[in-house]
Amino acid sequence: MVMSRLLTFALVADAAVTAAAGLLMAVFAASLSSLLGLPGPLLQSAGFVLLPYAAGVGYLGSRARVPAAAIWAVIVLNVLWAVDSVALLFTGWIAPTGLGMTFVIFQAIVVAALAELQYFGLRQSHPARGDQKPYGAVSASS
């Protein structure tokens, strides 16, 4: 699939924001923990998970052509991250401060917005020569 400008932008923005958040959480987990009321190991683990994810998304954003399935994977992972982030607030496993709640909700909104941009960018993309169907069209037999 040949990526649209919107999709390229959304992937590169996702990679940049994710790398910055991951680095911040991985390096400053202890300081953020007391400020946000979130467990330091959770912040640090999340940060370390985000760094390779950001690299992968950045790699996709640097390509002119990518498989639609790879973009769908990014979209689904972003939606899951956003939903799980908000759900975490209702589990009782964490006791965030007001700022911590704001942080969790804000990053969930940003991730969901990036997933939406990626979805619309995917819809604007077009098949590469030899592709059987548009970006993510589903056949009746699927």
55 contacts 15 by C-beta, under 8 angstroms:
yes
Structure tokens belonging to residue 115? 């997933």
**Integer Rg of the chain from CA:** 17
Return the structure tokens found at 57: 């998304």
Q: Per the structure block, which two tokens stand in for 32?
A: 């953020």
Look at residue 90 in the predicted model and tell me its pLDDT.
95
Task: Give the integer Cα–Cα distance in Å for 108 and 96.
Answer: 15
Calpha distance 142→131 (Å, rounded):
17
**Which residues, listed in sequence order, are joined to residue 126 by a DSSP beta bridge?**
2
**This prediction's pTM:** 0.88
Q: Could you report the per-residue pLDDT of 27-69, keeping only the tens digit for each?
A: 999 999 999 999 999 999 999 999 999 999 999 999 999 999 9
Residue-range domain boundaries for the chain: 5-124
